[in-house]
Every structure is written in C-alpha cells, then in structure tokens.
C-alpha cells in the first residue's frame, strides 16, 4: 500500500531530529543510556519505519506494526503528562507529535484490500 510507505517515509525523516537528539545524549553515558533505554521501543518502531520505506519485510504483519506504533506513541503521550515521563519537560510541539503519529498510524492499520477498494471507488 502506497499510503503506508509514504507515511513511513515522512515519519522516518521527521524522526531524524529526535534520533539525533537521542544519539547526542550518549555524550553523557549514564544519562544517555537511561534515556535511550526509556525510548528503546521507539527506536524499534523508528527502524521499522525505515524498513517499510525501503520495502523491506518487517518481523510481523504491517497492520500489527502500525498498531504497535500507534499504541507506543499513545503511551509516550500519556507518560509525557506524568512526573515519570522523561518527556514531561518537553515543549507542547513534541507532546503533540506523539498524538499526530498515533493518529496517522491508526489510519495505516486499515487492511490493504479495504484501502484498495477505497482507491478504486475514488477513480
């Protein structure tokens, strides 16, 4: 499905700034390791976006991948509003990023055959 590939590309490229920030945290190893472990599930989703962009297979169905992406970003959004969440110090833009990614990931959960039927009916 082209939509999934486009979305994965946008997310992967937009996520570069986040990835670079997390890599830079490794300049202070104890803190950087803790922060990167906190975001380890996010790193896995980030790698999945690149794999989808380059049409490489993911370990499970794309629908499950997008569901996990949505759930993970909803979890990070929820944690960003608590004292536990490392992102509680973040700006509103990065907090809203969690919701945007979760919402668009939900759109990508739509089964391929349903999306093809919608595209066929539009043309």
Rounded to a whole number of angstroms, the distance between the first and last alpha carbons of the chain is: 16
In this prediction, residue 84 carries a pLDDT of 64
Expressed as residue numbers, the domain containing 12 is 2-122
* Structural domains counted in the chain: 1
Q: In the numeric block, which tokens belong to residue 34?
A: 């803790």
Contact 109, 102 (CB under 8 A): no
pLDDT digits (tens), the chain, 123 positions? 688 899 999 999 999 988 998 999 999 999 899 989 989 999 999 999 999 999 888 888 889 999 999 999 999 888 877 766 555 445 666 678 889 999 999 999 987 666 566 666 665
CA dihedral 77, 25, 105, 102 (to 10 degrees): 10
pTM: 0.80
């Amino acid at each position: 499905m082209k939509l999934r590939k486009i979305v994965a590309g946008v997310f992967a490229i937009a996520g570069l700034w986040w990835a670079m920030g997390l890599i830079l945290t490794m300049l202070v190893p104890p803190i950087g390791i803790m922060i990167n472990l906190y975001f380890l599930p996010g790193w896995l989703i980030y790698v999945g976006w690149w794999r989808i962009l380059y049409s490489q297979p993911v370990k499970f169905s794309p629908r499950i991948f997008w569901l996990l992406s949505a759930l993970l970003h909803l979890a990070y959004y929820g944690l960003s509003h608590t004292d536990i969440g490392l992102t509680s110090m973040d700006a509103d833009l990065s907090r809203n990023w969690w919701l945007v990614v979760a919402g668009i990931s939900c759109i990508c959960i739509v089964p391929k055959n349903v999306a093809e039927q919608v595209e066929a009916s539009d043309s």
